[in-house]
């Protein structure tokens, strides 16, 4: 079983642009949790690498609202490659998976929706510590 889910994002062409809605649950909701934090990440160059951390409890949905990039999702046993490009799909990441973002397309903008407010103690930034957490 993969340590992530790729979710389809329902959008529509409004005739004067595109619309994608992000809300919790319900018939049109795609976010499976209460939204506590929203991040917008931009300005990455093609050779940049971001992420390189896990979360102790936080779940996230990551969407490339412009451009795209490659993700390496690591469950402590196996590394899983995922590519996102455009707003048609999002990446649902549970807690305790190591995530690395790389190979950014020009002008990529990522939207990250999380179920926890920011708390630095929630981040696991040391890979050895992460491996110990998921293999014990």
**Domain parsing of the chain, residue ranges:** 35-135
Please report, rounded to a whole number, the percentage of residues in the chain having pLDDT higher than 90: 71
Across 57-63, average pLDDT: 96
- At 100-124, the pLDDT tens digits run 999 999 999 999 999 999 999 999 9
H, E, C per residue of 5-32: EEEECCEEECCCCEEECCCECCCCCCEC
Element containing residue 130 per DSSP (H, E): helix 127-135
Beta strands in 24-132 (DSSP E): 37-42, 50-55, 60-66, 68-74, 79-85, 89-93, 98-102, 109-114, 123-124
Q: Is residue 80 over pLDDT 70?
A: yes
CATH number of 35-135: 2.60.120.10
- Core vs surface per residue 46-57: b (16+ CB within 10 A) or e: eeeeebeebbee
């Amino acid at each position: 079983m993969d340590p992530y889910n790729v979710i389809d994002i329902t959008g529509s062409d409004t005739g004067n642009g595109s619309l994608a809605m992000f809300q919790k649950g319900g018939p049109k909701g795609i976010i499976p949790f209460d939204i506590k934090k929203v991040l917008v990440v931009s300005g990455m160059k093609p050779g940049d690498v971001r992420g390189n951390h896990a979360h102790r409890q936080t779940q996230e949905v990551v969407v490339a609202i412009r451009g795209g990039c490659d993700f390496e999702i690591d469950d402590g046993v196996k590394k899983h490659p995922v590519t996102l490009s455009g707003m048609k799909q999002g990446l649902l990441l549970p807690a305790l998976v190591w995530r690395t973002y790389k190979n950014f397309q020009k002008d990529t903008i990522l939207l990250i929706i999380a179920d926890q407010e920011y708390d630095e103690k929630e981040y696991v930034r040391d890979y050895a510590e992460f491996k110990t957490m998921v293999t014990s």
